[in-house]
Amino acid sequence: MSKTRKTGTKEVGFVIQSQDYLLFLEGLPTTKLNDVIVDAQGHRAIITALEEEKIEAWMLDNFHSKPGDSFTVSPEGLRLALQYNLFGRTISPLGLPLDGKPGLPPGGVEIDLDLVAPGIDSRELITEQFYTGLIAVDTLLPIGKGQRELLYGEPRSGKTPFLLDIIIHQKVFNRICIYCAMGRSEIDIKRFAENLIQNGGSSYTVIIAASSSDSAPLIAIAPAMASSVAEHYRDQGKDVLLILDDLATHAKYMREISLLAGRIPGRESYPADIFYQHSHLVERAGNFSDKKGKGSITLLPVIETDLESFSSLIPTNVMSMTDGHLLFSASLRAQGQYPAIEIDRSVTRVGRQTQKFIHKVLSDRIRSLLADFHELQRFSRFGTELTGQTQLIIKRGKITEELIRQDTLTYIPPSVQILLLSLVFSGFFDEKDINWVKQYKQLIIKELAGTTAKKISESIDKIELDVLIENLKSLHKELENKCQPLPNSKKN
């Protein structure tokens, strides 16, 4: 019979049944949910359910326990060496190195996997925009600092390059990035880390990874561990970007564990509490007050799903608990569009309130232009004779779509985004064809970011959009001179 802690001896629990990583024990009468227990060799498990006759636990370390093995409660719990510099590291949810570098020192900060999200008294209104350096997002689908924005779409729709770009662009804003990979292949995780290193994004990024070769419990606790790391930096007053890639995979492993444990399955055989599990994670993000260090956690949960599964349980669940979503399309990606976001089917519920006034007005005008363009484009297929105004809308729509299209690893400052898209309404592109725009787009962006438009860009926050458009007309001739083909160069 086990003894309580009050006797001065340790409580002991004995395994009575084991199925792979799932353990059932008797004993340990005063243990609690999420307590960490260890066997004689130091292998760890975590308590996940308390029943009258037995205790359920998940094995965290790569070890198969058998009936008769004894466990005691660990006084250490789950700890991560957060006091040390984790930037540039790829670690497991247990803090083990996955990048070939030396291991982290033992001990550190104890992690509470079931931490309750801060209440409304610890939060502040989201008023500052979270810039990504991507025109399609910053102008048309803005994200606020502390917002929760779902990214979902088909395989090979450009989600991973998009995430890499956003992380790399945060260097400009001195933000910390936490990337949590769940159930991805080891090769994909390694490639992601290498891309960050090559492009200077690793010095402020921590990667927490549980690959497809890891056990289901390790993948199950990964997002909670990543959230705890993000909260550690938030409490220091830092602005943090947290990426959970992806929650659909996480849900599948939670379903596996639940079915193995013999629990009654819910819709699509997922555990009945899967909505709680994910909303519990999502609510830990936000924009916080002095009570929580006056930092913020901007959350980008990712879900990879095919077209037939967009309305299935997990995507709709996460969509309902976030502040908007970006829908990625494999067909747009195949056409060369980047980022391959379906603007008309994407939503941001918070970000627009954070945009500067002129950026918001420009966004409305661009959206209206694109809506008219898509409608008129459908009619033009029937061979209808088009008026001059209709032809102008179609031309400006095509050019706007080309301007929104970006190369990967290309950062465009917010002020340059405003100037570039405002040029559409100033008439600069009206006499140009789409091939000319493709050829000189990067040169125009460079000129707008340099001294050519310095005086105009400095006054952006103080003038109306129509005044800005009028002022841009003074740059037309200079920009056209810059965009002349080189002598002896062949025409396209």
DSSP string across 103-127: PPPS--EE--TTPPPP-GGGB----
Q: Is the model's pTM score more than 0.95?
A: no
Amino acid 7: pLDDT:
40
Amino acid 180: pLDDT:
98
Smallest CA-to-CA distance from 389 within 368, 373, 365 is with 373
Helix (H) or strand (E) run with residue 467 in it: helix 465-472
CATH 3.30.2270.10 fits 5-76, yes or no: no
The alpha-helical segments, DSSP class H, found in 22-61 are: none
Taking CA atoms, 292 is separated from 24, 196, 316, 445, in Å, by: 38, 29, 30, 40
Amino acid 491: pLDDT:
45
Whether residue 339 is preceded by a cis peptide bond, meaning omega within 30 degrees of 0, is yes
pLDDT in tens, the chain (492 residues): 343 344 457 889 999 999 999 999 999 999 999 999 999 999 999 999 999 889 999 999 988 999 999 999 998 888 888 888 899 999 999 999 999 998 888 778 888 888 889 999 999 999 999 999 999 999 999 999 999 999 999 999 999 999 999 999 999 999 999 999 999 999 999 999 999 999 999 999 999 999 999 999 999 999 999 999 999 999 999 999 999 999 999 999 999 999 999 999 999 999 999 999 999 999 999 999 988 889 999 999 999 988 777 789 999 999 999 999 999 999 999 998 999 999 999 999 999 999 999 999 999 999 999 999 988 887 776 656 677 788 899 999 999 999 999 999 999 999 999 999 999 999 999 999 999 999 999 999 999 998 777 788 788 888 899 999 999 999 999 999 988 875 654 444
Q: What angle do CA 435, 439, 440 make, to 5 degrees?
A: 120
| Radius of gyration from C-alpha coordinates of the chain | 26
- CATH code, 80-351: 3.40.50.300
Q: Who contacts 490 (Cβ-Cβ below 8 Å, separation ≥6)?
A: none
Amino acid 243: pLDDT:
98
- CATH code, 357-482: 1.20.150.20
* Residue 284, Cβ density class (10 Å: 0-12 exposed, 13-18 middle, ≥19 buried): buried
Q: In whole angstroms, give the CA distance from residue 274 to residue 292.
A: 27
Q: In whole angstroms, give the CA distance from residue 207 to residue 212.
A: 15
Segment 423-429 long-range contacts (CB within 8 Å, at least 24 positions apart): 423/472, 424/366, 424/369, 424/396, 424/399, 424/400, 425/365, 425/396, 425/469, 426/469, 426/470, 426/472, 426/473, 426/476, 427/473, 427/476, 428/472, 428/473, 428/476, 428/479, 429/395, 429/396, 429/399
Neighbour tally for 432: CB within 10 Å? 15
Amino acid 349: pLDDT:
92
Query: Is residue 284 within 8 Å of 298, Cβ to Cβ?
Result: no
- Domain coordinates in residue numbering, the chain: 5-76, 80-351, 357-482
Q: In whole angstroms, give the CA distance from residue 481 to residue 492.
A: 18
Amino acid 486: pLDDT:
59
